[in-house]
Structures are given as C-alpha cells and as structure tokens.
Amino acid sequence: MAVTMLQDWCRWMGVSARRGLLILGIPEDCDEAELQESLEAALWPMGHFTVLGKVFREEDNATAALVELDREVNYALVPREIPGTGGPWNVVFVPRCSGEEFLSRVFHFMEQQGQTVESVAGALGLGLRRVCWLRSVSQAVQPWVEAMRYQRLGVFSGRDQPALGEESFEAWLHHTADMLHVWQGVSEREKRRRLMEGLRGTALQLVHGLLAENPARTAQDCLAALIQVFGDNESQATLRVKCLTAQQHSGERLSAFVLRLEVLLQKAIEKGALARASADHVRLRQVLTRANLTEPLDEALRKLRMVGRSPSFLEMLGLVRESEAWEASLARSERAQAEEGAGAQAHAQADARADAKAEDDKVDEKEQEQQEQEREREEEDTDDLDAVPAGLGQARPSEAPGGPTPAQMGTASRAGPGGPGYEPEGLTQSGDREAGEPLEEGLKPIPDESGNEDGPGGLGLPKSSSGK
C-alpha cells in the first residue's frame, strides 16, 4: 500500500515518516521545474520542503515523488490532491494517532487483559476521577470527531482506463485503506455505506453481489474481494522477470532508475520471487548492464563486483548521486566554455562587420568627393557658357568693338563687282526677310565707304577720275 511504501522509502532515506509525503500520479514527462512549481503552489502553507527522489511506478504508469517537510505533517493543512499536469496528483501521508484513539486503544487493551480502569489508574499516574473524566470526554466527542474526520472516498468503477473524475484502483485502494483505519469507531453498516459510496460500474456490482450472498460481510472483506479481482495478481515468475529486465529509460536519471529498480526488488522480495540476500547482487548487475554509466562510476562498480562486495541500496544511491553531481558540474563547465567561445566568436564577427563598414564608409566618402568635384566642374563649365552672348548684336570676345560682323563680312565678299557671289544688296536683304529672318533690333546697314548717296541698299558706281 502507499502508506507502507512511504514508510519504507523514508526508512531507506533516513528521514522521519511523520515529516514525509508521497506524491503519486506524476506524469513521466513532467520536468523538474514544473514539479517544483506545482508542489510550491500546494504545499507552501506547510513550510519549506525538499524533493528527496522520484521513481517510476509501472502499476500506475506514472512517477512517484518523496517529499520531506521541515516539520511534522500538519493534518489541517495537508492537501489530499495537488493540481498538476495530467490531472490531480494524490498525496499520501502517515495517518495520525489522535488522543481519543490512543485512549480507546488503552481501554480496549485493558478489557482484553481483564483489567478495569480503577486497577490501572495508579499505573498510568492519574487519579481515578481524571481517568473517568477523560473516558467520558472521549465518548462524548466521538461522534463529533467522526463527523469531522469523515471524507468521501474517490470514485472507482473497475475500468482499465479510468474516466474523467475517476481514480485508478491503486490510488483508490490507498485512500480507502487509510480511511478504513481512521473509521475504527464507525459501525460496520456505516463503513459499508461509505465504501459503496465511492464505487461505480463493475466494482459496485461486485460488492452488491457479495452483500446479497452474505449481508454480514464487513467492509474489510469487501475491500479484500476488490483487491483480489482488480488488484495486482502478478506471479512470482513475472515479478522476477520484471526485476531482471528492468532498464533505464531514455531521458531517465540514473538515480530515478535505481529507485524504480528498488521498488521492483522489494515487491519481488515480499511476494517471495526473490531472496532478500540476493537483492544487492541483482541491483548491482542491473545497474552495470541496464543503465548508462559514466566511466568513473562504471569502473568503481566493476571493482566492487570483482572483489565480491555488492553495495547496498543506500550505498548505490550515494555513488549514483555523486556521479550525477560530477556530471552536472562537468556539463556546467562545458556550457560556460561554449558560451565564452560563442561570445568571442560574436565579438570577432562584430569587429569584422565594423571593419567592413568602415571600409564601405571610406569608399562612399571617396565616391562623394568625386561626385562633388564633378559637380563643381560642371558648374564652372555652365558659368562659362552663360558668359557667352547668344544674340548676334552683342560683341563676342573675338570681335573688335565696331568691327564688321561675320554676316557683313560675307556680304562684302559677295559684293565685289564681277565676283562669283555678287548680288545686289537690296535683293539679298529682301530675300533674307522673305526667308523669315528679320533683322535684329539695332542692326544697321554699313555706310558706304565710297560716299554713295543713292541710299541704303543702292549700288553705287565709282566716279570717273576725269570728273574730279
């Protein structure tokens, strides 16, 4: 049962069972951070706690965790379930032994021994009146205590895969067995009623059939029948095969595998499938052949095997945890070195990018300077072109002020008598005007140097020297 597992586990770990909690139903893929977060959210009213270990339970197909509190369990604050991944996780703790239970046990023992209250009053160191008063108070508060102590059982239907709101048989059995122990002062009729209150389907039909056959059956008899039908009925051979074929799962810590293997070994020992004297040898063999070990741990265990000394469970767990601590420190140092290398590489890349950017900036500056120089040369050329007059009536730098224009020079060259380009000036000017080229404003005909008075555009003949 779960309480027995809790007590045995606490004894193996060397802690008080009164300060321990067993958490059942944790999914196998639940990581450490998520487990700690869920436990802190549910157990913070109970003070500081430590997770001592985890183990995979094949019957639940889930992980169980052992939690140690810094003080004894406060039964008024401890939760029955913890909300977590995959549904609620069941919380198992050692039931308390109250004052009235202790007194009832004392009185029952006295009655079995044929003693009376008066005969043992002196042995208890109490006066007769005080003993009688305690007994009367115990009997008076018994109904109230039972009413306050009453908790509804979980729901179990007998299905292979529990439906929503139902519990697996193992979890339901743990809770029910604990509550039957607490309900010692309750009548059998009330116990049977409370037991059937949490049953559904095939399980309820089974109990109905048992009570119809024999109405005097107790609640414990009904629970034993349910265990026989729905409980773990593995044979000794099956348990032995499970122990000899257990191996470390992918992603499972070595310490978790050792704890899971220990549960299988203890179960096989209880069922007689394995001798207690051979448990250490089987444990060492499975760890060496079915687990992933570091080289130092593998060497140490093989030396122990060669000298014929198989470590006990606690010794094996200590060696495994030392190996895991060393491996974790090695991983941290490698991670730190990798981060330093990545940082150096990042700095080198940043420096290379900075150098490349500086080179690009220099190239851009040179291109900008060249563009500026080209722009300045273009502006200078534009200024020079603007300084040259576009009109014909304006003097050009190559023309002397008052000199003949090229047009006039061309006209003069054609005006020679008998020349090949000789044309009357009037015709030339009229032809030019007909061609749509008006005379520019300010353009005046060149005065005839021979003093011809025929008027502008007229053709003067040279005078005879005889008429002089």
Residue-wise pLDDT for 109-155, tens only, equals: 555 555 555 555 555 555 545 555 555 655 554 555 555 456 678 88
- Give the mean model confidence (pLDDT) for residues 228-247: 82
| Secondary structure string (H, E, C) spanning the chain | CHHHHHHHHHHHHCCCHHHEEEEEEECCCCCHHHHHHHHHHHHHHHCCEEEEEEEEECCCCEEEEEEEECCCCCCCCCCCEECCCCCCEEEECCCCCCHHHHHHHHHHHHHHCCCCHHHHHHHHCCCHHHHHHHHHHHHHHHHHHHHHHCCCCCCECCCCCCCCCCCCHHHHHHHHHHHHHHHHHCCHHHHHHHHHHCECHHHHHHHHHHHHHCCCCCHHHHHHHHHHHHCCCCCHHHHHHHHHHCCCCCCCCHHHHHHHHHHHHHHHHHCCCCCHHHHHHHHHHHHHHHCCCCHHHHHHHHHHHHCCCCCCHHHHHHHHHHHHHHHHHHHHHHHHHHHHHHHHHHHHHHHHHHHHHHHHHHHHHHHHHHHHHHHHHHHHHHHHHHHCCCCCCCCCCCCCCCCCCHHHHHHHHHCCCCCCCCCCHHHHHHHHHHCCCCCCCCCCCCCCCCCCCCCCCCCCCCCCHHHC
How confident is residue 5, by pLDDT bands cut at 50, 70 and 90?
confident
Q: 1-94 in CATH: which number?
A: 3.30.70.330
- Count Cβ atoms below 10 Å from residue 322 Cβ, excluding itself: 13
Residue-wise pLDDT for 83-94, tens only, equals: 888 888 889 888
- Give the mean model confidence (pLDDT) for residues 34-61: 84
- Residue 462 or 290, more confident: 290
Average pLDDT of the chain, as a whole number: 75
Identify the pLDDT of residue 327: 87
Q: Is the pLDDT of residue 288 over 90?
A: yes
- Give the mean model confidence (pLDDT) for residues 15-42: 87
- Give the mean model confidence (pLDDT) for residues 14-25: 86
Residue-wise pLDDT for 303-318, tens only, equals: 999 998 999 999 999 9
* Whole-number percent of the chain with pLDDT over 90: 10
- Ranges in the chain annotated CATH 3.30.70.330: 1-94
Q: Is the pLDDT of residue 8 over 90?
A: no
Q: Is the pLDDT of residue 82 over 60?
A: yes
Residue-wise pLDDT for 154-207, tens only, equals: 889 888 778 888 888 878 888 888 788 777 778 888 888 889 888 988 889 889
Residue-wise pLDDT for 429-444, tens only, equals: 444 444 444 444 444 5
